[in-house]
Amino acid sequence: MNTNTFIKLEYKELIEELKKHCISGLGRAMAEKLKPYKNIEAVKKRLTETSQALKILESTNHVPFDGINDVNIIISKLQKYELLTTKEFMLVTDFLRGCRRLKRFMVNQEYIAPMLSNYAHSLTEYPDVEEEINSMINNGKIVDNATKELSRIRRKKYIIEDRIKGRLNEFISKNKSYVREHIISKREGKFVVSIVASYKNVIQGSIIDQSSKGTTVYIEPKIVTKLNAELSELKLREQQEEYQILSYLTAIIQENAKGMSINIELISQYDLIFAKAKYSSKIKGIEPNINDYGYINIIKGEHFLLEGNCVPLDIHVGKEYKTLVITGPNAGGKTIALKTVGLLTIATQMGLHIKAKEGSEIAIFENIFVDIGDNQSIKNALSTFSSHMKNIADIINKSDKKTLVLFDELGVGTEPNEGANLAIAILEELYYLGCTTVVTTHYADIKEFASVHLDFQNAHMKFNPETLQPLYKLIIGQGGDSNALWISKKMGLKDRVIKRAEKYITTKNYQYKTIKRDENNNKEKEEDMAQVDLRIGDRVKLLDTKESAIVYKEVDKYNNIEVKIGKTFKQINIKRIILEVKRENLYPAGYDFNILFKEFSQRKLEKDIKRGSKKALKKIHKDIKNKRKNDKNKG
């Protein structure tokens, strides 16, 4: 299946709807990769998964996906030998706890969902890893008693901090007149007090920082200098110990990374499967029957993405006939019918339930190709027709009996007669290749072809002729029409125009007229153009020379006729003559028109021959002898 198929059938939009029902980024990432399966056994398995997940949702209020999150990035850090952070360890423990809960839940669903329950046995539990991480990290921080050394360092650190704070509070009390704010601050990791800048030289100590305006300085009084230095040393040792703890825990995750990756894959699958089930519940979907021999039978099917009250589609193809030709008016639902067939087929092959009635059946195809809409490419300088033909040529080259082909308005964009017959040839070729094909068209020739071909079938979209509203209902077994004349009449087109069009459709007997201006009163009048109605013996006038002539040969395929002007015969286009007098008004009934075009001597000779005149026969023999002599001399 090519990219064009996915775009035209709105596959991406369907995936976006599915992703809304995923719990985690794991499931959404899996949905992004979801593509139709081509093997019927794989499709059966995916559909069974969805159906079993739906049963679980219907029997319980809650599936425990709590704590499930995407830890793929964390696992990938291990491959780069990067140290995990405390927050990342918390995510790992949440994930492991979620795996443990989900496994126990799914194992208990064996009765209603045996396949999904069996998957759970492949989930690995890591209670020791969880316990080790939780014993050292809590709320995103390493706990004091993570190790004995860390406990000793932090205990001493807290004692030093208390001493510093005590001395600084005492300092503030004694130097109130110099102090800006009677609180202890921290600058660059050191405890300091804020002093009015003008007294900075009065206080013994080190200036650590100052305010942006320079009115306040932050001083580390001399009385706490040694304690601050000792505190800095303890902090450095604390950092070193925390690093050792994080390294130790990272190594534990590294040792179990392979099993955790398997858990990630399984959890992703579970999330996607239950997303399919939730979507099925939302759309009231069903698990269709499936086959691998090209038979599609959709009963009351609906397009996934159409909102509001949609008219369900009943359509079947691939058993009694391999090609279905759908006709009908524009905006009557033909294209939506095509897209519904295509998207429901793709969805089924992805393991999704479809919006249809029980008993619906979908064929599993290796390829689904479509040609819908305008594929014009400005970049490649292709015309609309050329771009369609390029796509269709690619489709034919890649199609076989495992292919579903969907064509919208096949053959449009060129001269109608050529387009219709080209479309028929294309449909024939796809039929010979064994494809299952659904095509929409306005061409009567394609409809006629389908009506006589034993493996083709006509169908049409119903249309209300009174209200001019499409009914979006497909009727299989007979072709429809575009209702162009009916709609035109409803829109107020004159009856004489409608009748003329009906005549042309039936007989192809076109009557051309030109508008001439009367030289006397300057009024316009119509003059019939001699066309297919002109017959041998009619008198006509040549528009260019104003000469009169007699029709000798009737109109040919190039719209030319041959006329006799005096003793001269001339070929001329019918647009350059007008009818003067019909032959019925010139000659009696049964008149031999050959008389008009033969000389008197020729007519007399033919008459003499018929009555057996010896003189006439001698003349013929003499003419033949002279002709042979002349031919011999020329040779």
pLDDT of residue 559: 80
Q: What is the mean pLDDT of residues 426-443?
A: 92
CA pair distance 273, 270, nearest whole angstrom: 5
84-130: pLDDT as tens digits:
999 999 999 999 999 999 999 999 999 999 999 999 999 999 999 99
Which of 449, 473, 489 corresponds to the end of one domain?
Answer: 489
Strands ordered across the beta sheet of 296-301: 289-291, 361-363, 296-301, 313-317
Q: What is the mean pLDDT of residues 464-473?
A: 61
Which of 439, 473, 489 corresponds to the end of one domain?
Answer: 489
CA pair distance 565, 567, nearest whole angstrom: 6
Does one domain contain both 532 and 467?
Answer: no
Cβ–Cβ under 8 Å, residues 550 and 538: yes
Does one domain contain both 457 and 417?
Answer: yes
Q: Which is more confident, 228 or 496?
A: 228
Does one domain contain both 321 and 378?
Answer: yes
pLDDT of residue 525: 46
Does one domain contain both 114 and 160?
Answer: no
Domain count, the chain: 5
Given a cut of 70, whether residue 617 has pLDDT beyond it is: no
Domain carrying residue 627: 600-634
Q: What is the mean pLDDT of residues 565-575?
A: 84
Does one domain contain both 346 and 425?
Answer: yes
561 falls within a domain: yes
pLDDT of residue 524: 46
pLDDT of residue 573: 85
Nearest to 363 by CA among 376, 378, 348: 348
pLDDT of residue 487: 64
- Structure confidence at residue 508 as a pLDDT band (50, 70, 90): low
Of 286-290, 458-462, 560-564, the range with the highest mean pLDDT is 286-290
Q: What is the mean pLDDT of residues 582-602?
A: 73
Q: Which is more confident, 450 or 522?
A: 450
Angle between helix 257-283 and helix 40-59 axes, rounded to 10 deg: 80
pLDDT of residue 592: 74
386 falls within a domain: yes
Given a cut of 90, whether residue 176 has pLDDT beyond it is: no
pLDDT of residue 509: 58
Does one domain contain both 102 and 157?
Answer: no
With pLDDT > 70 as the criterion, what percentage of the chain qualifies?
Answer: 83
Does one domain contain both 269 and 216?
Answer: no
131 falls within a domain: no
Q: How far from chain centre, in Å, is Cα 98?
A: 37
- Please report, for the domain that includes residue 565, its CATH number: 2.30.30.30
E-strand ranges in 376-523 read: 403-408, 436-440, 456-464, 469-476, 513-517
10 falls within a domain: no
Does one domain contain both 326 and 412?
Answer: yes
Q: What is the mean pLDDT of residues 549-567?
A: 84
- Please report, for the domain that includes residue 211, its CATH number: 1.10.1420.10
Q: What is the mean pLDDT of residues 404-416?
A: 85
- Please report, for the domain that includes residue 385, its CATH number: 3.40.50.300
Of 146-160, 331-345, 461-475, 593-607, the range with the highest mean pLDDT is 146-160
501 falls within a domain: no
Least confident of 341-350, 556-565, 574-583, 589-598: 589-598
9-43: pLDDT as tens digits:
999 999 999 999 999 888 999 999 999 999 999 99
pLDDT of residue 285: 94
Q: Are strands 469-476 and 216-221 parallel, antiparallel or unpaired?
A: unpaired
Q: Are strands 436-440 and 403-408 parallel, antiparallel or unpaired?
A: parallel
142 falls within a domain: no
- Structure confidence at residue 635 as a pLDDT band (50, 70, 90): low
Read off the pTM: 0.70
Does one domain contain both 372 and 473?
Answer: yes
Given a cut of 70, whether residue 611 has pLDDT beyond it is: no
The CA–CA distances, whole Å, from 463 to 189, 389, 470, 477, 587 equal 82, 30, 4, 16, 53
Q: What is the chain's alpha carbon radius of gyration, rounded to the nearest angstrom?
A: 46
pLDDT of residue 339: 92
Does one domain contain both 200 and 301?
Answer: no
Q: H or E stretch including 580?
A: strand 577-581
332-379: pLDDT as tens digits:
678 889 999 999 999 999 999 999 999 999 999 999 999 987 544 434
Of 103-117, 310-324, 608-622, the range with the highest mean pLDDT is 103-117
141 falls within a domain: no
Residue 600 CB-density burial (10 A; 0-12 exposed, 13-18 middle, 19+ buried): exposed
Does one domain contain both 167 and 32?
Answer: no
Q: What is the mean pLDDT of residues 149-166?
A: 93
Does one domain contain both 475 and 344?
Answer: yes
First and final CA of the chain: distance in angstroms? 71
7 falls within a domain: no
pLDDT of residue 331: 63
CA pair distance 308, 19, nearest whole angstrom: 21
